[in-house]
DNA sequence: GCCTCAAGATACGTGAATGTTTCTTAGGGC
DNA sequence: GCCCTAAGAAACATTCACGTATCTTGAGGC
Protein backbone atom coordinates (compact mmCIF):
# COMPACT_ATOMS: atom_id res chain seq x y z
CA UNK A 1 0.00 0.00 0.00
CA UNK A 2 1.05 3.54 -0.68
CA UNK A 3 3.01 4.73 2.38
CA UNK A 4 2.04 8.33 1.58
CA UNK A 5 -1.60 7.61 2.25
CA UNK A 6 -2.88 8.48 5.70
CA UNK A 7 -4.54 5.77 7.70
CA UNK A 8 -8.30 6.27 7.71
CA UNK A 9 -10.69 5.44 10.53
CA UNK A 10 -14.38 5.25 11.37
CA UNK A 11 -16.95 6.70 8.96
CA UNK A 12 -14.33 8.09 6.56
CA UNK A 13 -12.96 4.62 6.03
CA UNK A 14 -16.38 3.06 5.89
CA UNK A 15 -17.63 5.45 3.22
CA UNK A 16 -14.50 5.01 1.17
CA UNK A 17 -15.01 1.24 1.24
CA UNK A 18 -18.67 1.45 0.27
CA UNK A 19 -17.83 3.83 -2.57
CA UNK A 20 -15.23 1.37 -3.78
CA UNK A 21 -17.77 -1.44 -3.45
CA UNK A 22 -20.23 0.52 -5.57
CA UNK A 23 -17.60 1.00 -8.25
CA UNK A 24 -16.76 -2.67 -8.27
CA UNK A 25 -20.44 -3.57 -8.36
CA UNK A 26 -21.18 -1.35 -11.33
CA UNK A 27 -18.06 -2.50 -13.11
CA UNK A 28 -18.06 -6.23 -12.49
CA UNK A 29 -21.50 -7.07 -11.15
CA UNK A 30 -22.49 -9.13 -8.16
CA UNK A 31 -20.22 -11.97 -9.15
CA UNK A 32 -17.24 -9.63 -9.15
CA UNK A 33 -18.11 -8.12 -5.78
CA UNK A 34 -15.48 -10.06 -3.84
CA UNK A 35 -13.83 -9.03 -0.61
CA UNK A 36 -10.56 -9.14 -2.47
CA UNK A 37 -11.64 -6.76 -5.19
CA UNK A 38 -13.34 -4.30 -2.85
CA UNK A 39 -10.43 -4.26 -0.41
CA UNK A 40 -7.98 -3.65 -3.24
CA UNK A 41 -10.11 -0.90 -4.75
CA UNK A 42 -10.47 0.80 -1.38
CA UNK A 43 -6.74 0.42 -0.63
CA UNK A 44 -7.40 -1.55 2.51
CA UNK A 45 -7.34 -5.21 3.51
CA UNK A 46 -9.96 -7.92 3.73
CA UNK A 47 -10.05 -8.26 7.52
CA UNK A 48 -11.18 -4.63 7.70
CA UNK A 49 -14.18 -5.59 5.58
CA UNK A 50 -14.92 -8.80 7.46
CA UNK A 51 -14.98 -6.90 10.74
CA UNK A 52 -17.84 -4.75 9.46
CA UNK A 53 -19.73 -6.96 7.03
CA UNK A 54 -19.43 -10.66 7.87
CA UNK A 55 -21.11 -11.83 4.66
CA UNK A 56 -21.15 -10.64 1.08
CA UNK A 57 -24.85 -9.94 1.33
CA UNK A 58 -24.22 -7.58 4.22
CA UNK A 59 -21.69 -5.74 2.12
CA UNK A 60 -24.04 -5.64 -0.86
CA UNK A 61 -26.93 -4.37 1.20
CA UNK A 62 -24.82 -1.65 2.81
CA UNK A 63 -23.54 -0.58 -0.59
CA UNK A 64 -27.00 -0.31 -2.11
CA UNK A 65 -28.44 1.37 0.96
CA UNK A 66 -25.76 4.03 0.86
CA UNK A 67 -26.68 4.80 -2.73
CA UNK A 68 -30.41 4.72 -2.13
CA UNK A 69 -29.93 8.23 -0.77
CA UNK A 70 -28.74 9.15 -4.25
CA UNK A 71 -30.05 11.91 -6.41
CA UNK A 72 -33.72 12.04 -7.41
CA UNK A 73 -34.43 12.62 -11.10
CA UNK A 74 -35.64 16.14 -11.73
CA UNK A 75 -38.74 16.74 -13.80
CA UNK A 76 -38.21 19.89 -15.87
CA UNK A 77 -41.07 22.40 -16.14
CA UNK A 78 -40.33 24.51 -19.19
CA UNK A 79 -43.88 25.19 -20.32
CA UNK A 80 -43.34 23.01 -23.38
CA UNK A 81 -44.46 19.38 -23.51
CA UNK A 82 -41.71 18.19 -25.84
CA UNK A 83 -38.97 19.97 -23.90
CA UNK A 84 -40.28 18.59 -20.61
CA UNK A 85 -40.38 15.04 -21.96
CA UNK A 86 -36.93 15.08 -23.55
CA UNK A 87 -35.45 16.89 -20.56
CA UNK A 88 -36.84 14.30 -18.17
CA UNK A 89 -35.52 11.42 -20.23
CA UNK A 90 -32.16 13.13 -20.40
CA UNK A 91 -32.07 13.48 -16.60
CA UNK A 92 -33.09 9.86 -16.20
CA UNK A 93 -30.44 8.81 -18.69
CA UNK A 94 -27.79 10.61 -16.67
CA UNK A 95 -28.97 9.51 -13.25
CA UNK A 96 -30.88 6.28 -13.47
CA UNK A 97 -28.95 4.12 -15.89
CA UNK A 98 -26.53 2.94 -13.24
CA UNK A 99 -29.32 2.05 -10.87
CA UNK A 100 -31.35 0.24 -13.52
CA UNK A 101 -28.29 -1.67 -14.58
CA UNK A 102 -27.48 -2.52 -11.00
CA UNK A 103 -30.96 -3.75 -10.28
CA UNK A 104 -31.14 -5.81 -13.42
CA UNK A 105 -27.80 -7.40 -12.67
CA UNK A 106 -28.05 -7.79 -8.95
CA UNK A 107 -31.61 -8.46 -8.00
CA UNK A 108 -32.56 -11.00 -10.62
CA UNK A 109 -31.27 -13.82 -8.46
CA UNK A 110 -33.29 -12.43 -5.60
CA UNK A 111 -36.35 -12.27 -7.83
CA UNK A 112 -35.82 -15.83 -8.91
CA UNK A 113 -35.45 -17.07 -5.36
CA UNK A 114 -38.44 -15.21 -3.96
CA UNK A 115 -40.70 -15.43 -6.99
CA UNK A 116 -41.07 -11.66 -7.01
CA UNK A 117 -40.25 -9.19 -9.77
CA UNK A 118 -39.47 -5.58 -10.65
CA UNK A 119 -43.04 -4.45 -10.23
CA UNK A 120 -43.27 -6.03 -6.81
CA UNK A 121 -40.14 -4.25 -5.69
CA UNK A 122 -41.26 -0.91 -7.06
CA UNK A 123 -44.57 -1.20 -5.27
CA UNK A 124 -42.84 -2.27 -2.06
CA UNK A 125 -40.58 0.77 -2.23
CA UNK A 126 -43.63 3.00 -2.49
CA UNK A 127 -44.58 3.70 -6.08
CA UNK A 128 -44.55 7.40 -6.91
CA UNK A 129 -48.06 8.42 -7.93
CA UNK A 130 -48.45 10.15 -10.26
CA UNK A 131 -45.42 9.14 -12.30
CA UNK A 132 -43.17 11.76 -13.89
CA UNK A 133 -44.70 11.16 -17.31
CA UNK A 134 -48.17 11.60 -15.89
CA UNK A 135 -47.08 14.86 -14.27
CA UNK A 136 -45.70 16.15 -17.55
CA UNK A 137 -48.93 15.34 -19.40
CA UNK A 138 -51.07 16.86 -16.67
CA UNK A 139 -49.15 20.10 -16.95
CA UNK A 140 -49.60 20.16 -20.72
CA UNK A 141 -53.33 19.56 -20.30
CA UNK A 142 -53.54 22.34 -17.73
CA UNK A 143 -51.84 24.72 -20.17
CA UNK A 144 -54.30 23.71 -22.86
CA UNK A 145 -51.56 22.20 -25.00
CA UNK A 146 -53.28 18.81 -24.95
CA UNK A 147 -56.99 17.92 -24.95
CA UNK A 148 -58.37 16.81 -21.60
CA UNK A 149 -59.29 13.24 -22.50
CA UNK A 150 -58.73 10.00 -20.57
CA UNK A 151 -55.49 8.21 -21.41
CA UNK A 152 -54.34 4.71 -20.49
CA UNK A 153 -51.47 4.15 -18.09
CA UNK A 154 -49.61 2.42 -20.90
CA UNK A 155 -49.82 5.46 -23.15
CA UNK A 156 -48.97 7.90 -20.38
CA UNK A 157 -45.85 6.01 -19.29
CA UNK A 158 -44.83 4.87 -22.76
CA UNK A 159 -41.67 7.00 -23.06
CA UNK A 160 -40.21 5.85 -19.76
CA UNK A 161 -41.10 2.23 -20.49
CA UNK A 162 -39.29 2.45 -23.82
CA UNK A 163 -36.36 4.17 -22.14
CA UNK A 164 -36.18 1.46 -19.49
CA UNK A 165 -36.46 -1.22 -22.14
CA UNK A 166 -33.51 0.14 -24.09
CA UNK A 167 -31.40 0.48 -20.96
CA UNK A 168 -32.16 -3.11 -20.00
CA UNK A 169 -31.25 -4.27 -23.48
CA UNK A 170 -27.97 -2.41 -23.78
CA UNK A 171 -26.98 -1.90 -20.12
CA UNK A 172 -25.64 1.48 -21.23
CA UNK A 173 -26.89 5.06 -21.24
CA UNK A 174 -28.92 5.86 -24.33
CA UNK A 175 -27.70 8.20 -27.07
CA UNK A 176 -29.55 11.50 -27.29
CA UNK A 177 -31.18 10.67 -30.61
CA UNK A 178 -32.89 7.66 -29.05
CA UNK A 179 -34.51 9.92 -26.48
CA UNK A 180 -35.80 12.40 -29.09
CA UNK A 181 -36.92 9.51 -31.29
CA UNK A 182 -39.02 8.08 -28.48
CA UNK A 183 -40.68 11.43 -27.85
CA UNK A 184 -41.04 12.72 -31.43
CA UNK A 185 -41.84 9.57 -33.35
CA UNK A 186 -43.82 7.61 -30.78
CA UNK A 187 -45.19 9.51 -27.83
CA UNK A 188 -46.19 12.95 -29.13
CA UNK A 189 -48.04 11.65 -32.21
CA UNK A 190 -50.12 9.38 -29.95
CA UNK A 191 -50.82 12.08 -27.37
CA UNK A 192 -51.90 14.57 -30.04
CA UNK A 193 -53.90 12.06 -32.04
CA UNK B 1 -20.96 -43.59 -12.96
CA UNK B 2 -23.82 -46.01 -13.24
CA UNK B 3 -22.43 -49.17 -14.81
CA UNK B 4 -25.88 -50.01 -16.20
CA UNK B 5 -25.87 -46.97 -18.46
CA UNK B 6 -24.83 -47.54 -22.06
CA UNK B 7 -22.02 -45.43 -23.48
CA UNK B 8 -23.39 -42.72 -25.73
CA UNK B 9 -21.74 -41.27 -28.84
CA UNK B 10 -22.07 -38.51 -31.42
CA UNK B 11 -25.28 -36.48 -31.58
CA UNK B 12 -27.05 -38.50 -28.91
CA UNK B 13 -24.34 -37.64 -26.43
CA UNK B 14 -24.15 -34.05 -27.59
CA UNK B 15 -27.87 -33.47 -27.20
CA UNK B 16 -27.89 -35.10 -23.79
CA UNK B 17 -25.11 -32.77 -22.68
CA UNK B 18 -26.82 -29.66 -24.03
CA UNK B 19 -30.08 -30.67 -22.37
CA UNK B 20 -28.22 -31.09 -19.11
CA UNK B 21 -26.55 -27.73 -19.62
CA UNK B 22 -29.95 -26.11 -20.16
CA UNK B 23 -31.22 -27.61 -16.92
CA UNK B 24 -28.20 -26.37 -15.02
CA UNK B 25 -28.55 -22.92 -16.57
CA UNK B 26 -32.20 -22.62 -15.62
CA UNK B 27 -31.54 -23.94 -12.15
CA UNK B 28 -28.33 -22.19 -11.14
CA UNK B 29 -27.79 -19.39 -13.64
CA UNK B 30 -24.74 -18.53 -15.67
CA UNK B 31 -22.53 -18.53 -12.61
CA UNK B 32 -23.50 -22.12 -11.90
CA UNK B 33 -22.96 -23.22 -15.48
CA UNK B 34 -19.61 -24.91 -14.83
CA UNK B 35 -18.07 -27.76 -16.75
CA UNK B 36 -18.13 -29.69 -13.52
CA UNK B 37 -21.85 -29.23 -12.95
CA UNK B 38 -22.84 -29.91 -16.57
CA UNK B 39 -20.67 -33.00 -16.82
CA UNK B 40 -22.11 -34.36 -13.59
CA UNK B 41 -25.69 -33.66 -14.69
CA UNK B 42 -25.10 -35.32 -18.05
CA UNK B 43 -23.36 -38.31 -16.43
CA UNK B 44 -20.19 -37.74 -18.38
CA UNK B 45 -16.80 -36.16 -17.71
CA UNK B 46 -15.31 -32.74 -18.26
CA UNK B 47 -12.86 -33.71 -21.02
CA UNK B 48 -15.82 -34.78 -23.15
CA UNK B 49 -17.16 -31.24 -22.87
CA UNK B 50 -13.80 -29.58 -23.47
CA UNK B 51 -13.35 -31.56 -26.69
CA UNK B 52 -16.52 -30.02 -28.11
CA UNK B 53 -16.75 -26.59 -26.48
CA UNK B 54 -13.35 -25.19 -25.56
CA UNK B 55 -14.74 -22.23 -23.62
CA UNK B 56 -17.73 -21.70 -21.39
CA UNK B 57 -19.12 -19.18 -23.86
CA UNK B 58 -19.14 -21.82 -26.59
CA UNK B 59 -21.08 -24.11 -24.31
CA UNK B 60 -23.51 -21.34 -23.38
CA UNK B 61 -24.19 -20.33 -26.98
CA UNK B 62 -24.68 -23.93 -28.05
CA UNK B 63 -27.10 -24.50 -25.18
CA UNK B 64 -29.21 -21.44 -25.96
CA UNK B 65 -29.12 -22.09 -29.68
CA UNK B 66 -30.40 -25.62 -29.22
CA UNK B 67 -33.20 -24.50 -26.94
CA UNK B 68 -34.25 -21.71 -29.27
CA UNK B 69 -34.22 -23.99 -32.31
CA UNK B 70 -36.56 -26.28 -30.43
CA UNK B 71 -38.96 -23.45 -29.65
CA UNK B 72 -39.72 -21.53 -32.88
CA UNK B 73 -42.33 -18.78 -32.70
CA UNK B 74 -44.81 -18.90 -35.54
CA UNK B 75 -45.77 -15.75 -37.41
CA UNK B 76 -49.44 -16.00 -38.38
CA UNK B 77 -50.51 -14.92 -41.87
CA UNK B 78 -54.23 -14.27 -41.73
CA UNK B 79 -54.47 -11.48 -44.26
CA UNK B 80 -55.31 -9.02 -41.49
CA UNK B 81 -52.69 -6.77 -39.90
CA UNK B 82 -54.30 -6.64 -36.46
CA UNK B 83 -54.89 -10.38 -36.31
CA UNK B 84 -51.33 -11.07 -37.43
CA UNK B 85 -49.89 -8.77 -34.79
CA UNK B 86 -51.98 -10.04 -31.91
CA UNK B 87 -51.50 -13.63 -33.02
CA UNK B 88 -47.75 -13.24 -33.14
CA UNK B 89 -47.63 -11.66 -29.69
CA UNK B 90 -49.81 -14.46 -28.38
CA UNK B 91 -47.44 -17.07 -29.81
CA UNK B 92 -44.46 -15.23 -28.39
CA UNK B 93 -46.21 -15.00 -25.04
CA UNK B 94 -46.70 -18.73 -25.00
CA UNK B 95 -43.28 -19.69 -26.29
CA UNK B 96 -40.76 -16.99 -25.54
CA UNK B 97 -41.55 -15.98 -22.01
CA UNK B 98 -39.43 -18.76 -20.55
CA UNK B 99 -36.56 -17.77 -22.77
CA UNK B 100 -36.72 -14.09 -21.94
CA UNK B 101 -37.07 -14.82 -18.26
CA UNK B 102 -34.10 -17.13 -18.41
CA UNK B 103 -31.93 -14.60 -20.15
CA UNK B 104 -32.86 -11.78 -17.86
CA UNK B 105 -32.45 -13.80 -14.71
CA UNK B 106 -29.50 -15.96 -15.51
CA UNK B 107 -27.35 -14.19 -18.02
CA UNK B 108 -26.76 -10.83 -16.45
CA UNK B 109 -23.53 -12.08 -14.92
CA UNK B 110 -22.45 -13.17 -18.36
CA UNK B 111 -23.15 -9.73 -19.73
CA UNK B 112 -21.13 -8.19 -16.95
CA UNK B 113 -18.21 -10.56 -17.35
CA UNK B 114 -17.97 -10.15 -21.08
CA UNK B 115 -18.93 -6.50 -21.30
CA UNK B 116 -21.65 -7.51 -23.71
CA UNK B 117 -25.41 -7.18 -23.45
CA UNK B 118 -28.75 -8.51 -24.59
CA UNK B 119 -28.36 -7.00 -28.04
CA UNK B 120 -24.90 -8.49 -28.51
CA UNK B 121 -26.15 -11.93 -27.61
CA UNK B 122 -29.07 -11.67 -30.00
CA UNK B 123 -26.68 -10.75 -32.79
CA UNK B 124 -24.35 -13.62 -31.89
CA UNK B 125 -27.28 -16.02 -32.08
CA UNK B 126 -28.03 -14.77 -35.57
CA UNK B 127 -30.62 -12.04 -35.53
CA UNK B 128 -33.51 -12.81 -37.83
CA UNK B 129 -33.67 -10.13 -40.50
CA UNK B 130 -36.28 -8.98 -41.12
CA UNK B 131 -37.85 -9.32 -37.68
CA UNK B 132 -41.33 -10.82 -37.31
CA UNK B 133 -42.86 -7.36 -36.84
CA UNK B 134 -41.21 -6.17 -40.02
CA UNK B 135 -42.56 -9.19 -41.87
CA UNK B 136 -46.07 -8.49 -40.64
CA UNK B 137 -45.90 -4.86 -41.77
CA UNK B 138 -44.40 -5.79 -45.12
CA UNK B 139 -47.31 -8.14 -45.76
CA UNK B 140 -49.81 -5.43 -44.88
CA UNK B 141 -48.07 -3.01 -47.24
CA UNK B 142 -48.07 -5.61 -50.01
CA UNK B 143 -51.83 -6.09 -49.54
CA UNK B 144 -52.33 -2.35 -49.74
CA UNK B 145 -53.60 -2.22 -46.16
CA UNK B 146 -50.84 0.22 -45.18
CA UNK B 147 -49.21 3.02 -47.18
CA UNK B 148 -45.75 2.20 -48.54
CA UNK B 149 -43.77 4.81 -46.59
CA UNK B 150 -40.42 4.46 -44.78
CA UNK B 151 -40.75 3.54 -41.10
CA UNK B 152 -38.09 3.55 -38.38
CA UNK B 153 -36.89 0.32 -36.81
CA UNK B 154 -38.20 1.57 -33.49
CA UNK B 155 -41.71 1.97 -34.83
CA UNK B 156 -41.64 -1.31 -36.72
CA UNK B 157 -40.51 -3.33 -33.70
CA UNK B 158 -42.46 -1.34 -31.14
CA UNK B 159 -44.97 -4.06 -30.19
CA UNK B 160 -42.33 -6.69 -29.52
CA UNK B 161 -40.20 -4.21 -27.57
CA UNK B 162 -43.17 -3.36 -25.38
CA UNK B 163 -43.97 -7.03 -24.99
CA UNK B 164 -40.39 -7.79 -24.01
CA UNK B 165 -40.38 -4.88 -21.59
CA UNK B 166 -43.48 -6.10 -19.79
CA UNK B 167 -42.11 -9.63 -19.59
CA UNK B 168 -38.85 -8.37 -18.11
CA UNK B 169 -40.75 -6.30 -15.57
CA UNK B 170 -43.14 -9.00 -14.43
CA UNK B 171 -41.18 -12.18 -15.24
CA UNK B 172 -44.53 -13.69 -16.12
CA UNK B 173 -46.56 -14.27 -19.29
CA UNK B 174 -48.67 -11.25 -20.20
CA UNK B 175 -52.47 -11.24 -19.96
CA UNK B 176 -54.28 -11.15 -23.29
CA UNK B 177 -55.60 -7.63 -22.78
CA UNK B 178 -52.05 -6.30 -22.57
CA UNK B 179 -51.30 -7.75 -25.98
CA UNK B 180 -54.38 -6.20 -27.61
CA UNK B 181 -53.69 -2.93 -25.82
CA UNK B 182 -50.19 -2.77 -27.28
CA UNK B 183 -51.52 -3.38 -30.77
CA UNK B 184 -54.74 -1.35 -30.69
CA UNK B 185 -53.75 1.65 -28.59
CA UNK B 186 -50.12 2.08 -29.54
CA UNK B 187 -48.96 0.34 -32.69
CA UNK B 188 -51.85 0.49 -35.16
CA UNK B 189 -52.58 4.20 -34.60
CA UNK B 190 -48.93 5.00 -35.33
CA UNK B 191 -48.74 2.76 -38.39
CA UNK B 192 -51.94 4.23 -39.87
CA UNK B 193 -51.09 7.79 -38.96
C1' DG C 1 -14.75 -60.90 -34.59
C1' DC C 2 -11.24 -57.46 -34.89
C1' DC C 3 -9.71 -52.49 -34.90
C1' DT C 4 -10.11 -48.04 -34.25
C1' DC C 5 -11.55 -44.09 -32.04
C1' DA C 6 -13.88 -41.62 -28.79
C1' DA C 7 -16.30 -41.97 -24.22
C1' DG C 8 -15.41 -41.79 -19.73
C1' DA C 9 -12.54 -42.02 -15.43
C1' DT C 10 -8.81 -40.24 -12.89
C1' DA C 11 -5.18 -37.29 -11.53
C1' DC C 12 -2.36 -33.12 -11.40
C1' DG C 13 -0.99 -28.33 -11.28
C1' DT C 14 -2.91 -23.66 -11.25
C1' DG C 15 -5.44 -19.74 -9.79
C1' DA C 16 -8.90 -17.25 -7.35
C1' DA C 17 -11.54 -16.40 -3.44
C1' DT C 18 -12.81 -17.66 1.19
C1' DG C 19 -12.61 -17.10 6.28
C1' DT C 20 -9.36 -16.69 9.89
C1' DT C 21 -5.20 -15.62 12.61
C1' DT C 22 -1.18 -13.08 13.90
C1' DC C 23 1.54 -9.14 14.08
C1' DT C 24 2.92 -4.10 13.34
C1' DT C 25 1.97 0.38 13.50
C1' DA C 26 -0.58 4.69 13.23
C1' DG C 27 -4.41 7.94 15.21
C1' DG C 28 -7.11 9.81 18.56
C1' DG C 29 -8.54 10.21 23.44
C1' DC C 30 -7.07 11.25 27.73
C1' DG D 1 3.28 12.23 25.76
C1' DC D 2 1.23 7.70 26.70
C1' DC D 3 -2.11 4.06 25.66
C1' DC D 4 -5.44 1.67 23.52
C1' DT D 5 -7.82 0.54 19.74
C1' DA D 6 -8.30 -0.45 15.13
C1' DA D 7 -6.06 -0.12 10.45
C1' DG D 8 -3.46 -2.57 7.58
C1' DA D 9 -0.10 -6.29 6.08
C1' DA D 10 0.88 -10.98 5.69
C1' DA D 11 0.24 -15.74 6.00
C1' DC D 12 -2.57 -19.86 6.53
C1' DA D 13 -5.61 -23.89 5.18
C1' DT D 14 -9.64 -24.76 2.44
C1' DT D 15 -12.57 -24.90 -1.37
C1' DC D 16 -13.88 -24.79 -6.10
C1' DA D 17 -13.35 -24.56 -10.87
C1' DC D 18 -10.14 -24.54 -14.56
C1' DG D 19 -7.48 -26.76 -18.28
C1' DT D 20 -4.77 -30.67 -19.55
C1' DA D 21 -2.80 -35.30 -19.73
C1' DT D 22 -3.06 -40.19 -19.33
C1' DC D 23 -5.26 -44.45 -19.40
C1' DT D 24 -9.22 -47.98 -19.86
C1' DT D 25 -12.89 -49.62 -22.04
C1' DG D 26 -16.89 -49.82 -24.82
C1' DA D 27 -19.37 -48.99 -29.42
C1' DG D 28 -19.60 -49.05 -34.20
C1' DG D 29 -17.46 -49.87 -38.87
C1' DC D 30 -15.50 -53.10 -41.64
pLDDT 10s digits, B47-63: 999 999 999 888 988 88
| CB–CB contact B170 A117 (8 Å) | yes
Region A50-57 average pLDDT = 90
Report residue B125's pLDDT band, with 50, 70 and 90 as the boundaries. Answer: low
Is it the case that residue A162 has pLDDT exceeding 60?
A: yes
Output the pLDDT for position B9. 80
Q: Does one domain contain both A90 and A43?
A: no
Q: Please state whether A73 falls in left (phi above 0), alpha (psi between -120 and 50) or beta.
A: beta
B-chain residue closest to A110, CA distance: B105
A-proximal residues of B, 19-58, CB under 8 Å? 29, 31
**Structural domain includes residue B52:** yes
Q: How far is the CA of B46 from the C1' of C9 (A)?
A: 10
HSE at residue B122, side-chain half, CA atoms within 13 A, is: 13
Whether residues A86 and A180 share a domain: the answer is yes
Say whether both B57 and B108 belong to one domain.
Answer: no
B88 and B21 in a common domain: no
Cis? peptide before A130, omega within 30° of 0: yes
A58 shares its domain with A85:
no
Same domain membership, residue A56 and residue A147 = no
Residues in chain B: 193
Report the residue of B101, B158, B168, B174 to disrupt the A interface, i.e. the one with the largest count of A CBs within 10 Å: B168
Instruction: Residue B42: give its domain's CATH number.
Output: 1.10.10.60
In angstroms, what is the C-alpha Rg of chain A? 21
Candidates B27, B104, B112: best to mutate against A (most CBs of A within 10 A) is B112
Give yes or no for a contact between B117 and A165, defined as CB atoms under 8 angstroms apart.
no
Domain around B128: 73-191
CB-based contact B105 A118, cutoff 8 Å: no
Looking at per-residue confidence, does B147 or A70 come out higher?
B147
DSSP state letters, B105-172: HHSHHHHHHHT--HHHHHHHT---SS-HHHHHHHHHHHHTSS------HHHHTHHHHHHHHHHHHHSS
pLDDT mean over A80-101: 85
Q: What percent of chain A has pLDDT over 90?
A: 49
Query: Which of B68, B87, B117 lies at the terminal end of a domain, its last residue?
Result: B68
A131 occurs within a structural domain: yes
Measured in angstroms, the CA of B8 and the nearest CA of chain A are apart by 34
Confidence (pLDDT) at A4: 47
Q: What is the mean pLDDT of residues B15-23?
A: 90
> Is A75 part of any domain?
no
A41 touches strand D (CB under 7 A): no
Hey, what's the torsion of the CAs at A113, A119, A125, A126, to 10 degrees? -150
What pLDDT, on a 0 to 100 scale, did the predictor assign at position A2?
41
Question: Is there contact between B36 and strand D, defined as CB under 7 Å from any strand atom?
Answer: yes
Q: Which of A37-41, A164-168, B107-111 has the lowest mean pLDDT?
A: B107-111
Return the closest nucleotide (C1') to the Cα of B9: C7
Report the residue from B104, B112, B189 with minimal CB separation from A32. B112
Average pLDDT over residues A132-141: 96
B50, B102: one domain = no
Structure confidence at residue A126 (pLDDT) = 54
Residue A42 lies in a domain: yes
Which residues of chain B neighbour A181 with C-beta distances below 8 Å? Answer: 152, 154
Q: Quick one: pLDDT at residue B102?
A: 62
- B41 and B116: one domain? no
User: What secondary structure letter does DSSP report for A144?
Assistant: T
Query: Does A26 map to a domain?
Result: yes
Task: Tell me the nearest-neighbour CA distance from A42 into chain B, angstroms.
Answer: 21
**pLDDT band at residue A57 using 50, 70 and 90 as cut-offs:** confident
**B10 contact to strand C (CB, 7 A limit):** yes
Tens of pLDDT, residues A93-123 = 887 666 666 566 555 655 655 566 777 766 6
Q: Does A110 touch chain B (CB under 8 A)?
A: no
Q: What Å distances lie between residue A188 and A116, A155, B155, CA to CA?
A: 33, 10, 13
Q: In terms of domains, do B161 and B130 share one?
A: yes
For chain B, what is the domain count? Answer: 2
Q: What percent of chain B has pLDDT over 70?
A: 83
A178 with A145, same domain: the answer is yes
The per-residue pLDDT for A95 is 77
The pLDDT of residue A61 is 79
Closest nucleotide relative to residue B2's CA, C1' based: C8
Q: Does A14 map to a domain?
A: yes
Q: What are the tens digits of pLDDT across the range B84-109?
A: 999 999 999 887 666 665 665 556 66
Amino acid sequence: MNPQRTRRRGPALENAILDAAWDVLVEHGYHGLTYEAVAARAHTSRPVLYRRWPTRDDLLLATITRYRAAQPVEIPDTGDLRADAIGFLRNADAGLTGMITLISVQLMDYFRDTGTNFTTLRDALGSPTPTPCEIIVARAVARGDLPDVPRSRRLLNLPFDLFRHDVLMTLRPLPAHSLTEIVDEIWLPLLRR
